[in-house]
């Protein structure tokens, strides 16, 4: 996980909205479903997009 994502998760965990608020439900939902994606998967996905866009722009 990147530092920026770790910081974001820390901020979410530190927030303390009222128990019945929509914001509390959103924060809880986000933290419960937090998935750490290895950066190699992200880079591979971005690489395929970059290659595809280069191929598209050359035609």
pLDDT in tens, 33-45: 987 777 777 778 7
pLDDT for res 21: 95
pLDDT for 14 equals 94
pTM given for the model: 0.55
Domain range spanning residue 45?
Answer: 3-58
Contacting residues for 13 by C-beta, under 8 A, at least 6 apart: 31
Could you tell me if 15 and 27 are in contact, meaning their C-beta atoms sit under 8 angstroms apart? yes
Q: What is the 3-state secondary structure (H, E, C) of the chain?
A: CCHHHHHHHHHHHHCCCCCCCHHHHHHHHHHHCCCCCCHHHHHHHHHHHHHHHHHHHHC
Give the tens place of pLDDT for each residue, 10-31: 999 999 999 999 999 999 999 9
Q: How many domains would you assign to the chain?
A: 1
The mean-pLDDT minimum among 4-8, 23-27, 41-45, 51-55 falls in 51-55
């Amino acid at each position: 996980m990147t530092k920026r994502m770790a910081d974001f998760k820390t901020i979410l965990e530190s927030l303390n909205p009222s128990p019945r608020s929509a914001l509390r439900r959103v924060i809880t939902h986000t933290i419960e479903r937090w998935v750490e994606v290895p950066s190699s998967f992200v880079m591979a996905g971005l690489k395929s997009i970059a290659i595809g866009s280069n191929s598209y722009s050359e035609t």
